[in-house]
Amino acid sequence: VTFVVLSYWLIATTMIFVNKRLMSAANEPADISVLVVWAQSVFGLTFLMTFRALVFLFRLPLKELRHLQLPAGARRGDLDLPLAAVAQTSALIFNNLTLRLISVSFYQIARALTLVFVTALSACILRERIAKRVGMACLLMIAGFYVGVDQEVLSQGVPPIGVVYGSIASFFAACYGVLFKRLQLNATTRIAATTLQFTYYNYLTCSIALAPAVFASCQARDFLCLKASRDAGFWCLLALSGLAGIAMSWVSSLQISLTSPLTHNMSINAKSVLLTLTAVAWNGETRAGLWWAGNALVLLGVALY
């Protein structure tokens, strides 16, 4: 559990900085948030197929890659699988939209409602009882979210739509965690031992489902007009993000499997502390006391939970 949690912190923090770099690489108003998620899925799927071919070629003892296929639930038409895939893909898209408009240091506050959504959805979907102290913890996180957003808007002029995108991303991330946990509880899907299969399923469905949206929204055309489309470094970073996405999806699934959706999101919040401090120090930013108070309220809510 310790190894999986620490691995998740490292990979997730790296992914946020990489996605922020991808979304701001062009330094132009064009929106390529859906295209980036689709390209990451295509690269990720390509890497998975390459790894599987290498396992067969060199006869490596990696059973999960050797037997990589769609989860049993997908073959039986289990609705939780496509719903979880849609939730994860939506979370990635709105996460990119959030990073396009806000700073990395504000990311923790923008995504502070994830644990609140998980608590509510766990009660609705998993029928888990919400204790009074959990409700108090959620109120603290909501208060921290309000204070942090208020200070960021006043001091940095962050557009409110960026906060809205962050909240929507938090909701879909919570949906994904709860739905995946329900798959874990459903013995007929046998998903617990095949987290890599679920990663493969997500990439495959995302690659197919988002392709029409990328071209219909003209994001592919807009991207080809940007300087970034002719930058080899951008393409390398995009490929790296696809590879990191495999690791992040796999480790996220393992973290949910070994713990719970709520513990997974507590881990996300703990990682956000490191992310906030790193971003503020790296960029040499200064923030007001109330801004830090908002962060502290969110963390206090997590600690109380």
- Chain-centre distance of CA 285, in angstroms? 25
The answer to whether residue 272 scores a pLDDT higher than 70 is: yes
CA 65, distance to chain mean position in Å, is 23
Of 108-112, 190-194, 261-265, 301-305, minimum mean pLDDT range = 190-194
Amino acid at 299: L
| Residues 97/19, Cβ–Cβ less than 8 Å | no
SS3 of 217, please?
Answer: coil
The pTM score is: 0.85
Average pLDDT, the chain: 84
Q: What is the pLDDT of residue 43?
A: 93
Both tokens of 87, joined, read 């939730």
Top-confidence residue, 62 or 224 = 224
- E strands within 27-138? none
pLDDT tens digits along 107-148:
888 888 988 998 999 888 888 888 889 999 999 999 999 999
- Are 176 and 249 a contacting pair, CB within 8 Å? no
Q: How many CA atoms lie within 13 A of 205 on its CB side?
A: 20
Number of domains, the chain: 1
Dig out the tokens for 40 from the structure. Answer: 């990451």
Residue 189 has pLDDT above 50, yes or no: no
Predicted pLDDT at 194: 60
Task: Please state the rounded mean pLDDT for residues 85-90.
Answer: 90
Confidence at residue 146, expressed as pLDDT on a 0 to 100 scale: 93
129 touches 179 (CB < 8 A): no
* Distance between CA atoms of residues 207 and 123, nearest Å: 32
In Å, what is the CA distance from 33 to each residue of 138, 202, 207?
Answer: 30, 18, 14
Stronger pLDDT, 189 or 258, i.e. the higher one:
258
Backbone phi, psi, residue 214, to 5°:
-60, -40
Higher pLDDT, 72 or 274: 274
In 10 A of CB 275, how many CB atoms?
A: 20
What's the domain range around 266? 1-68+76-304
pLDDT at position 56 is 85
Provide mean pLDDT across the span 217-226: 86
